[in-house]
């Protein structure tokens, strides 16, 4: 891994047992995706360098007695989320968008490195 310039953090929460209006959810998710599409205008420009992209998924510890499938074991990495978010040097948190409807919450913030 190289230097981290930006880390996009999505927080999803779904309360089980709640029903949700699918059309309302679709409308809000569309709005959320449009905000992501234009969020470059909110962030500082990145340096001219060869950049790469990676996605990570952090989940709550599983209460299941089922072991992790073999297909996931090779790429599974345990990490400390607090440590991962502080991995951006001089980072500042930029809130981008949030939504909350019928037991479903979604938030996005960007931890961006201080401009050099």
Residue 27 has pLDDT above 80, yes or no: yes
Cα–Cα distance measured from residue 76 to residue 74, given in angstroms and rounded to the nearest whole number? 6
Tokens (6 digits) for 90: 């001089």
Cα–Cα distance measured from residue 9 to residue 88, given in angstroms and rounded to the nearest whole number? 12
- Residues 116, 48 contacting (CB under 8 angstroms): no
At 92 the pLDDT is: 79
Q: How do the domains of the chain map onto residue ranges?
A: 1-43+81-116
Fold of the domain built from segment(s) 1-43+81-116: Cell Cycle, Spindle Assembly Checkpoint Protein; Chain A (3.30.900)
Tokens (6 digits) for 67: 């072991």
Is the whole-model pTM more than 0.85? no
Long-range contact set of residues 57-65: C-beta below 8 Å, sequence gap at least 24: 58/84
Across 67-82, average pLDDT:
67
């Amino acid at each position: 891994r190289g230097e981290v310039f930006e880390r996009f953090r999505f927080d999803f929460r779904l309360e089980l047992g709640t029903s949700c209006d699918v059309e309302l959810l679709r409308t809000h998710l569309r709005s959320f995706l449009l905000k992501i599409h234009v969020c470059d205008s909110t962030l500082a420009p990145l340096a001219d360098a060869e950049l790469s992209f990676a996605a990570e998924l952090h989940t709550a510890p599983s209460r299941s007695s089922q072991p992790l499938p073999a297909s996931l074991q090779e790429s599974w990495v345990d990490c400390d989320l607090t440590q991962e978010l502080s991995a951006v040097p001089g980072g500042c948190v930029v809130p981008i968008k949030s939504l909350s409807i019928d037991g479903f919450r979604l938030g996005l913030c960007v931890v961006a490195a201080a401009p050099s």
